[in-house]
Amino acid sequence: MLTVAHDGALKTHIMYKANLSHRQLEKYLEFLTNQGMIMKITDEYYGGTKYRVTEKGIEFLKDYARLSAHLNGMDQ
């Protein structure tokens, strides 16, 4: 499954996997692209646009998990 991350995913692929409507997907992709958490790449083989998670996107996932763990730890 990690192959998807390396090669990028097509819009339809993301829409199916994330269970999003087309309208939702456009909003999500715009936000994530603007914030640099995903990037557009052109697939020369398929001739279409794909999306790939960037280092910043990975960093966000780590920060979110760290923050969550830290805040939950503050509860104890």
Partner 1 sequence: MQTGFRGAGSIGFALHFLDSPSNPPLSLEIKANGRITRISLQIRRMRSVRCREAQMVPIGQQIELVDAIWATASDARWHTLEEVAKRLRSSYGRVALAVNVLEKYGFAEVSGTSERRFRINPGTISPMETVYSLRSLLHGPEPT
Residue 57 Cβ vs partner 1, minimum distance, rounded to whole Å: 5
Pattern of binders to partner 1 over 31-50, x per CB under 8 A?
A: xx-xx-xx------------
CB nearer partner 1, residue 1 or residue 44 = 1
Is 19 a binding residue for partner 1 by CB under 8 A? The answer is: yes
3 CB-side CA count, 13 A:
1
Q: Which of 27, 42, 43, 48 binds partner 1 (CB under 8 A)?
A: 27
Which one-letter amino acid corresponds to residue 12? T
Residues 12, 42, 49, 68: which binds partner 1 (CB under 8 A)?
Answer: 68
Interhelix angle 11-18/22-34, nearest 10 degrees = 110
35-40: long-range contacts, CB 8 A cutoff, minimum separation 24 = none
